[in-house]
Amino acid sequence: MSQGNYRVAIDIGTTKVCTIIVRKRADHRVEVCGISIVPCDGMSKGMVAESASVTVAIKESVEAAAADAGVEVNAVYTGLTGSHIESKNRWANVPRSEGMRPVTDLDLSAAKKAAGAIDLPDDRRLLHVIPRSYALDGLHGVRNPLGMHTGELHIESHVITGSISKITKLHNAVFDAGVRVSSMVVEPLASADAVLTADEREEGAVLVDVGGGTSDIAVYHDGSVVHTAVIPVGGFQFSNDLSIAFAIDFESAERLKIKHGTAAPELAGMKEEITLHPTTMSQPLTISKREIGQVLKERTSELFRMIQLKLEEPHLADIPTDRIVFTGGGAKLDGFLNIAKYIFQRKVRLASPRGLDGMPEGTNDPAYSAAVGIALWGMRNLPAENHVDERKISHTSENSGTATLANKQTAGALSMIRGWLPKRDKETAGT
Ligand SMILES: Nc1ncnc2c1ncn2[C@@H]1O[C@H](COP(=O)(O)OP(=O)(O)OP(=O)(O)O)[C@@H](O)[C@H]1O
Ligand SMILES: [Mg+2]
């Protein structure tokens, strides 16, 4: 087999760095060869706040995943998120020679170029130009115009931009860890690739990845993305609210949320009481599950209002978005879907990532959707390239190594997942 089929995806999240090394097999399925999850406390709301500690976490994560897979990593795809990400849909005329003639591959390349020809302010960079549809002599809604005859060709595309300074900071943090960034993928697109079904993309669905510091949104319809947005609110704010409400340290609040938290206190046992031993207090603290739930319910409702506002964009008015698919660690909060169903009055589900073979037990979790999606998005949409040093690949035949690697990863990845608690986001105040 060609060994140029390895890709490395790094999700540099607000709470953890997750590196996944994948390879495409001869049967075109994509399998995991190495994975590692390392806590990271240098990010704030999805963006680099303390470069040095982010670099340390990336280096550790890449080295552990590389050891797992028995390869040496030299390039990676990274995810990118933060409220600097902006998107819009635009139409562009595709310049071509006059007269009626079939649309060629060259025309499609010219179309993508025309779609991305935008004047951007000094600090903005184009990240993605995703063709949505074409118009042929005024006939709209053509998805694949290749070979069709037309005089005029127009393209509708979804264009995503980001802040150069924020992108450069992330790029440098990865570079300083000793690997080259071959491409960046915005995280709402990545997560959507890992969790949305073909039917959801086609018929209309909203993806929301609720992470530690951001909630990433992508709206799909007719098979492609129609809207992306990032809200700078995630699980951190939920824990921070508990920390403030009960005057306890952040780590105790985080544990309280995960173990006893609910967004639907009316469904929780009203009088069930929890006794805490916060490190900041000399006396134990007793609070009811209902009190904890009241705080979390308010934050959940506030986040949902912010999501609702993002879905009220005029260009989404005619898009059927009656399904919301949640993923990300923050969406695992007990009662989250009950409140979502009630507030949005739509079908809701919590999704784990799909599409990669051999995910070790314990990593098939909503928190890893973006990492899986970065690998899948890169494999599907970016030019073929190899991210690992082929001389260091330890196995020799197509199927060798897979089982042993998977077993090794299971032990390695799980010990890392269980052994840490997400650290406090750098911002001290809630949003
Ligand atoms: N069972 C649970 N209940 C509630 N919250 C949870 C649970 N498990 C994890 N979380 C929360 O999920 C968040 C981490 O999610 P995730 O790993 O998806 O974030 P991230 O990718 O690091 O951050 P971001 O995508 O925002 O940059 C943390 O705030 C954590 O408290
Ligand atoms: Mg994330």
| Residue with more model confidence, 348 or 421 | 348
Is 242 near ligand 1, meaning CB less than 6 Å away? no
pLDDT at 422: 39
> How far is residue 239's CA from residue 85's CA, in Å, rounded to a whole number?
25
Mean per-residue pLDDT of the chain? 89
Residue 421: CA count within 13 A, CB half-sphere = 13
pLDDT at 372 over 70: yes
CA 389 to chain CA mean position, Å: 26
pLDDT at 383: 82
pLDDT at 424 over 60: no
Sign for the CA dihedral angle at 193, 197, 200, 201 comes to positive
State the architecture of 197-350 in CATH terms: 2-Layer Sandwich (3.30)
- Residue range 148-207, pLDDT digits in tens: 999 999 999 999 999 999 999 999 999 999 999 999 999 999 999 999 999 999 999 999
Cα 254 to middle of ligand 2, angstroms: 17
Average pLDDT on 209-216 reads 98
- Residue range 11-55, pLDDT digits in tens: 999 999 999 999 999 898 999 999 999 999 999 999 999 999 999
pLDDT at 400: 36
| Residue with more model confidence, 429 or 188 | 188
Listed in order, the ranges of the chain carrying CATH 3.30.1490.110 are 86-165
Q: Tell me the three state secondary structure of residue 325.
A: strand
Q: Please tell me the residue having the least CA distance from ligand 1 atom 4.
A: 333
Q: Tell me the three state secondary structure of residue 262.
A: coil
Does this model's pTM top 0.85? My answer is: yes
Is 15 near ligand 1, meaning CB less than 6 Å away? yes
Contact 214, 232 (CB under 8 A): yes
Q: Which of 419, 387, 280, 313 is nearest to 88 (CA)?
A: 313
Range name among 65-69, 277-281, 330-334 with the lowest pLDDT average: 277-281
Listed in order, the ranges of the chain carrying CATH 3.30.420.40 are 197-350
**Hey, which of 187, 238, 258, 296 would you mutate to test ligand 1's pocket, going by the most ligand atoms within 8 Å of its Cβ?**
258
Which whole-number Å values give the CA distances from 264 to 269, 293, 297, in the listed order? 11, 6, 6
Average pLDDT on 123-134 reads 96
Contact 40, 53 (CB under 8 A): yes
Secondary structure (DSSP) of 218-256: EEEETTEEEEEEEES--HHHHHHHHHHHTT--HHHHHHH
Q: Which of 366, 54, 422, 416 is nearest to 237 (CA)?
A: 422
Which atom of ligand 1 is closest in space to residue 234's alpha carbon?
26
Cα 211 to middle of ligand 2, angstroms: 5
pLDDT at 268: 67
pLDDT at 283: 86
Q: Please tell me the residue having the least CA distance from ligand 1 atom 9.
A: 329
Is 80 near ligand 1, meaning CB less than 6 Å away? no
pLDDT at 234: 98
Q: Which of 154, 155, 93, 88 is nearest to 127 (CA)?
A: 88
Residue 219: CA count within 13 A, CB half-sphere = 23
List 10's β-bridge partners, or say none.
19, 78
Is 423 near ligand 1, meaning CB less than 6 Å away? no
CATH fold of 86-165: Dna Ligase; domain 1 (3.30.1490)
Which whole-number Å values give the CA distances from 92 to 127, 137, 149, 155, 385, in the listed order? 17, 13, 18, 5, 30
pLDDT at 412 over 60: no
Cα 392 to middle of ligand 2, angstroms: 30
- Residue range 57-66, pLDDT digits in tens: 999 999 999 9
Contact 355, 376 (CB under 8 A): yes
- Label residue 406 by pLDDT band (50, 70, 90): very low
**What are the backbone angles phi and psi of residue 22, rounded to the nearest 5°?**
-125, 160
The pair of three-digit structure tokens given for residue 261, joined into one six-digit string:
């938290």
pLDDT at 351: 98
Which whole-number Å values give the CA distances from 22 to 8, 9, 149, 289, 327, in the listed order? 6, 8, 40, 42, 21
Q: Which of 150, 230, 209, 173 is nearest to 369 (CA)?
A: 209
Cα 75 to middle of ligand 1, angstroms: 27
